[in-house]
Amino acid sequence: MTLNQAGYRRNWWLAIMALTGLGLVFRLLVWRWRELYPLGGDEAEYLAQAITLLQERRYVELRLMRPPLYPLFLATAILFVDSLVQNLRLVQSIISTLTVPLIILLTHTLARRSVPQASPAFARWAGLLAGLLTALNYTLAANATELLTETLFLAGLSLLFWLILLPQQTSRLAVCAGVVTGALCLIRSVALPLLPLTMGWWLINGWQSGQRRQTFIRIGMFLLGWALVVGPWTIRNTLTYGGVILIDTTGAENLWLDNDPAGREAVKAQLYALGEDRLYRQRLATERGVAAILADPVRFIIKMGQELRRFFALEHTDDMRARPAIWVSAAEVAARLVLGDGVWLLILLVGSYGLVQRWQTVQPDPSQRSSAFFRTLTQPGWLLGAWAAYVLFTTLIFHVELRYRLPLYPVLLAYTGMTGAAWQVRLRTAFPHRQRWTLLVPFFMVLITLWHAPYPIMAWQLANKHWNLLLAEQALTNGDAMTAANAASKALAYDGQSVLARVALARAALLGGDETTALHWLDEAISVLPAHPHPHLLRGDVLRRQGDLIAAQRELNGFATASREDLAAWLWARAVTPPPTRLLLGDGLDLGFIRGMHQPLPGEHHWRWTTRWAQVRLTAPAGAQQIALTLQSGRPDKSAVTIWVTVTGRKPQPFTIGADRQTITLPLPITTSSREVIISIRSPTFWPRQYDPASADGRRLGVQLVFAEVR
């Protein structure tokens, strides 16, 4: 190896490490964004299955039978990082990060095999481009925070494709590939066709290269590795259920669940009524599913068309449209749209174009025309294309959940990297034959995407709506009620279902002193989307100012616990009720006058935990001389803590707070008499799990604030 080659090799691995680090940073950011996301139904089932395995030392089958490896993975992770959901999500985020170098290596190997005539720079650039798209892929990062099989499966699938495509195959590599394939099957049984696909592609390559004996040995070792992993589970199923269940009954049961006109829930009830006879359930579900398809093939074809449209949807755009009450930060919205849906569109269109592109021309020998077709099949695109077609077809037969298209990502990312590298000016010779018909593939996919929803029109309307909402917010900040109302009305014209536009109209009315009109807009916003917290909070604030404290408490307290948004900070900036002179924390009427505090959990009454930094806003009446705060440290070990309290315009003052409630006082600055007073509290924090490892409370807690008063 020359000095130049050694430098290139070192830079190549440094680039891989840099992209892996970038992927880790991005996944940790998404992991933090999604900390408060609740577990879904399947996630809760997997977690409960893993905990039962650890506590009772027995494997409990789920009601719909699934492969065993993912619950075993979760149980192992719990042994190392405990059962706190956020810790388990962190483990999966790290595994998702490992997908970055695996995709780079896969793409590099694919490029070298697909375009052997290209310079080494082509394969390197292809790998790095694919790695960049993997590192900054919001969809992969977000799925890593869900306790589902996809993250583990995707990492294993990327590893498997790389092992399969390595040009120098050995018996040891074949066994490794078989073991990985078996593990993938025990994570998701959808991986089972990888067994014949791999063996068939290796057989064609070996036949064409004349290495038939070596190929048969390699296939035998591959089968051995697979059998060593899957065999024990199949034997267990046979002994448990009295017949052969290779991996699980998911495929058979979903065939019935997804194609019976009665619907999934009705069929589930019938399946559950059969009890634990999994063998009979498998046979019956297969028969009923096939019968449902054959009984009404037109309905089945229509259903496949509907699933096809959903398969090519923009996942995050549709999710935010379908659940507008779910608050998402501006940074995460941008990541969802650009690095989620944007990257999906890019790899879908460019990757599919690269997949069907002829990267290497096969020049058939006139005397051997019969073997030309099989020589073409030695291209990796046939193996990866067959896998992509299988994923699409099975999804259409069953039902589309957009995480089911994740197994396409290694293929699409790899070919996107190759296509991007090939279109660099100095590397274009690597793309010798461009067939114009291949452009029809991404064009067809664009049409299906637009068939699902008119995304460009929706984007135009949403852009105009949010632009006008921004103008309305600026006008409200400047105290211009008329301009704010005009801008909010324009936003409402672009989206007749907009809650935010109605809230802006209500705020403009309040700025103009018209509480009746404001309540009308807030009531209308609540009728449009009852789950959105903003109109409830503002309505509660108006009712509080009017003196209807019971109704105000109901509005202010009803949504604060369920929302991921910092609603205390939101109302702090928008409340119209003047701050009180005395404030009882945690009574449901304190929102708008506090920020930097946790929402009380069940059992936490008449006080609030602060965070590291918290504020209280009060009004200083005429003649007031001091501020009084009632607090306690709240530490389970009864220890005391030192906090720093700052009053507007004064230096921080230290106080030692013990386990018992105590009242501290501070002199009121003369300059703030008869004016608004803001009290800031800075305190050390702790995790409840530091004292109780079994605690499910992941909050960082400061001190307990009970009462605040200016007197």
**pLDDT tens figures, 446-465:** 999 999 999 999 999 999 99
Most distant CA pair in the chain: distance in Å? 108
Q: For residue 456, which phi and psi values (nearest 5 degrees)? A: -60, -40
What's the confidence (pLDDT) of residue 623? 82
Residues paired with 628 in a beta bridge: 665, 709
Query: At residue 673, does pLDDT exceed 60?
Result: no
Average pLDDT, the chain: 89
Q: How far apart are CA 660 and CA 631, in angstroms?
A: 8
Q: How far apart are CA 439 and CA 445, in angstroms?
A: 10
Q: How far apart are CA 597 and CA 613, in angstroms?
A: 8
Q: How far apart are CA 411 and CA 426, in angstroms?
A: 25
Task: Tell me which residue of 535, 542, 541, 477 sits closest to 514, measured CA to CA.
Answer: 542
What's the confidence (pLDDT) of residue 183? 97
117 or 100, which is more confident: 100
| Residues 607, 704 contacting (CB under 8 angstroms) | yes
What's the confidence (pLDDT) of residue 36? 81
Query: At residue 305, does pLDDT exceed 70?
Result: yes
701 SS3 class: strand
Q: State the pLDDT confidence band at 671, using cuts at 50, 70 and 90.
A: low
Task: Tell me which residue of 648, 643, 637, 646 sits closest to 704, measured CA to CA.
Answer: 643
| Residues 640, 658 contacting (CB under 8 angstroms) | yes
Query: Could you give the count of Cα atoms lying within 13 Å of 331 in the half-sphere of its Cβ?
Result: 6
What's the confidence (pLDDT) of residue 1? 54
**What's the one-letter identity of residue 627?**
I
- CA dihedral (99, 188, 414, 396) positive or negative: negative
Query: At residue 653, does pLDDT exceed 60?
Result: yes
Q: How far apart are CA 214 and CA 227, in angstroms?
A: 20
* Range of weakest confidence among 65-74, 119-128, 188-197: 119-128
Task: Tell me which residue of 600, 518, 607 sits closest to 560, measured CA to CA.
Answer: 600
Task: Tell me which residue of 600, 613, 608, 607 sits closest to 684, measured CA to CA.
Answer: 613
What's the confidence (pLDDT) of residue 109? 95
Q: How far apart are CA 488 and CA 305, in angstroms?
A: 39
Instruction: State how far the alpha carbon of 669 is from the alpha carbons of 616, 620, 648, 654, 678, in Å.
Output: 16, 10, 8, 17, 11
Beta strands in 368-507 (DSSP E): none
Query: At residue 111, does pLDDT exceed 70?
Result: yes
Distance from CA of residue 531 to its chain's centroid?
Answer: 22
Query: At residue 641, does pLDDT exceed 90?
Result: yes
What's the confidence (pLDDT) of residue 160? 97
Q: How far apart are CA 205 and CA 199, in angstroms?
A: 10
What's the confidence (pLDDT) of residue 432? 53
Query: At residue 562, does pLDDT exceed 70?
Result: no
Query: At residue 376, does pLDDT exceed 90?
Result: no
Q: State the pLDDT confidence band at 427, using cuts at 50, 70 and 90.
A: low
Question: How big is the chain, counted in residues?
Answer: 711
What's the confidence (pLDDT) of residue 368? 54
Distance from CA of residue 159 to its chain's centroid?
Answer: 22
682 SS3 class: strand
216 or 3, which is more confident: 216
Please state the rounded mean pLDDT for residues 360-385. Answer: 68
Query: At residue 412, does pLDDT exceed 80?
Result: yes
Please state the rounded mean pLDDT for residues 353-363. Answer: 72
Query: Could you give the count of Cα atoms lying within 13 Å of 308 in the half-sphere of its Cβ?
Result: 15
Query: At residue 323, does pLDDT exceed 90?
Result: no
Residues paired with 608 in a beta bridge: 705
434 SS3 class: coil
Q: How far apart are CA 675 and CA 671, in angstroms?
A: 8
Q: Angle CA(532)–CA(535)–CA(541) in degrees, nearest 5?
A: 135
Query: At residue 364, does pLDDT exceed 60?
Result: no
What residues contact residue 689 under an 8 Å CB cut-off, 6+ apart?
A: 82, 84, 695, 697, 698
What's the confidence (pLDDT) of residue 293? 93
Q: Burial level of 651, CB count in 10 A (0-12/13-18/19+)?
A: exposed
Helix (H) or strand (E) holding 584: strand 582-584
Cα distance from N-terminal residue to C-terminal residue, the chain: 82
Pairing of strands 582-584, 594-597: unpaired
Instruction: State how far the alpha carbon of 203 is from the alpha carbons of 115, 199, 219, 364, in Å.
Output: 21, 6, 8, 20
Q: Which domains does the chain have, with CATH numbers?
A: 3-360+374-452 (no CATH), 579-711 (2.60.120.260)
Q: How far apart are CA 616 and CA 594, in angstroms?
A: 5
* Range of weakest confidence among 18-22, 79-83, 210-214, 429-433: 429-433
pLDDT tens-place string over residues 50-102: 999 999 998 988 888 999 999 999 999 999 988 888 899 999 999 999 999 99
Please state the rounded mean pLDDT for residues 356-384. Answer: 68
Query: At residue 409, does pLDDT exceed 80?
Result: yes
Q: How far apart are CA 112 and CA 317, in angstroms?
A: 36
Q: How far apart are CA 11 and CA 513, in angstroms?
A: 66
pLDDT tens-place string over residues 129-183: 999 999 999 999 999 999 999 999 999 999 999 999 998 888 899 999 999 999 9
Task: Tell me which residue of 276, 284, 270, 282 sits closest to 245, measured CA to CA.
Answer: 282
Q: State the pLDDT confidence band at 3, using cuts at 50, 70 and 90.
A: low
- CA dihedral (345, 349, 354, 355) positive or negative: positive
**What's the one-letter identity of residue 607?**
W
What's the confidence (pLDDT) of residue 663? 93
What's the confidence (pLDDT) of residue 51? 93
Instruction: State how far the alpha carbon of 552 is from the alpha carbons of 227, 589, 603, 656, in Å.
Output: 65, 7, 22, 35
What's the confidence (pLDDT) of residue 357? 82
Please provide the DSSP assignment of 182-197 as one string.
HHHHHH-GGGTTHHHH
Q: How far apart are CA 208 and CA 204, in angstroms?
A: 6
Q: Angle CA(413)–CA(418)–CA(421) in degrees, nearest 5?
A: 125
What's the confidence (pLDDT) of residue 234? 95
Percent of the chain whose predicted confidence (pLDDT) is above 70 = 94
